[in-house]
Structure 1
């Protein structure tokens, strides 16, 4: 199944480059009914070890197959941090797909309690304060391995001050199954 997921993501990007639509969704759905179930996915592209695009869904809102195809193309062509992926880059890009569990709200009274409820290295985190919202996949712990560093960067990603946890933002956690 993992090889199929990666092949679909790769073909979706190739279709985007060539302005074609070659994925036989009917056949895939027939072969694997799980693709019809709602699933949240993130597609992460890296080029020579550097992030090259990352787009996804935090909540399952469409069939797995549709979410995967959409997010693969979006990571390659619509991530606002990068120019659209070129055909030359496509030859060297690495694709990773993250399958997300449903987000679970984390109730906490202070930062120490929050710290006790977060699995460093395992939990993906969604942080929201007002209209500002950001997420880090669990893989981000590899670059930001301690709680304070991870959350200060997540606060900044949301457009908030680095110490935004003192303002008690809403926090959700989720797990991912990595496919690479």
Structure 2
């Protein structure tokens, strides 16, 4: 059973501020900002898994994160802000001149849970659009999409196809019996800066 996330708007705003400060410290000064955990609410000092998404003029500019909690959540957000700006292989690193146009979103994830399915139609029927994030794993390849992406990819079949393409997983293998692709689902809470637009929505 999926756990439920309960982060207040206040704590979400703090995480967004941490992501922004980390982003600007790295891009402007090549400094890695470390939030002072002693000054933060207890919930943000606990381990957590997050993604940070960057957009520029409503277009995706970087998105990096973790599905497993490894560090205090505040530190995880700070790390992922830097990674989204500098390590997303789809984009060149963010430059200082872009910062004024960058808007960001922080997404907090529940631990992914395996989803058993008998066949492709069964898998599609078990997904909950706008609620489930989905992760596909095949051999050493893994890809996921956050639940926010349902805003622009509304059909389960196309949602799964987009994940497979992103991870270079053969889409046709989703029809294999027994299934050879592992599927995990997760839920999220997400917090955004003012002016943030979901990419492609």
- TM-score normalised per structure 2: 0.84
Is 1:6–1:97's contact at 8 Å kept on the other side of the alignment?
yes
Question: Which ranges in structure 1 are unaligned for 5 or more consecutive residues?
Answer: none
Which residue of 140, 145, 161 corresponds with 2:170? 161
User: Where does 1:26-175 land on structure 2 (aligned, <5 Å)?
Assistant: 26=36, 28-167=37-176, 168=179, 169-175=181-187
Cα displacement (A) at 1:162: 3.0
Structure with more contact order per residue of length (Cα contacts < 8 Å, sep ≥ 6): 2
Is 1:13–1:73's contact at 8 Å kept on the other side of the alignment?
yes
- Stretch moving more, 152-161 or 121-130: 152-161
Is 1:155–1:163's contact at 8 Å kept on the other side of the alignment?
no
> How many correspondences in the alignment?
178
Tell me what 2:3 maps to: none
Cα displacement (A) at 1:112: 2.1
Tell me what 2:14 maps to: 4
Residues 1:179 and 2:188 aligned together? no
- Helix, strand or coil at the partner of 1:91: helix
- Partners in 2 of 1:101 and 1:57 — Cα distance? 11
- Helix, strand or coil at the partner of 2:131: coil
- The alignment yields a C-alpha RMSD, in angstroms, of 1.4
- TM-score normalised per structure 1: 0.93
Question: Which ranges in structure 2 are unaligned for 5 or more consecutive residues?
Answer: 1-10, 193-201
Shift in alpha-carbon separation, 1:108–1:33, aligned structure 2, 3 A: same
Residues 1:19 and 2:30 aligned together? yes
CA-to-partner distance for each residue in 1:119-169, whole Å, 9 max, x for gaps? 012100010111111011111111211011111111111212233311321
- Partners in 2 of 1:19 and 1:7 — Cα distance? 18
Is 1:40–1:99's contact at 8 Å kept on the other side of the alignment?
yes
Shift in alpha-carbon separation, 1:140–1:10, aligned structure 2, 3 A: same
- Partners in 1 of 2:67 and 2:174 — Cα distance? 21
Is 2:26–2:33's contact at 8 Å kept on the other side of the alignment?
no
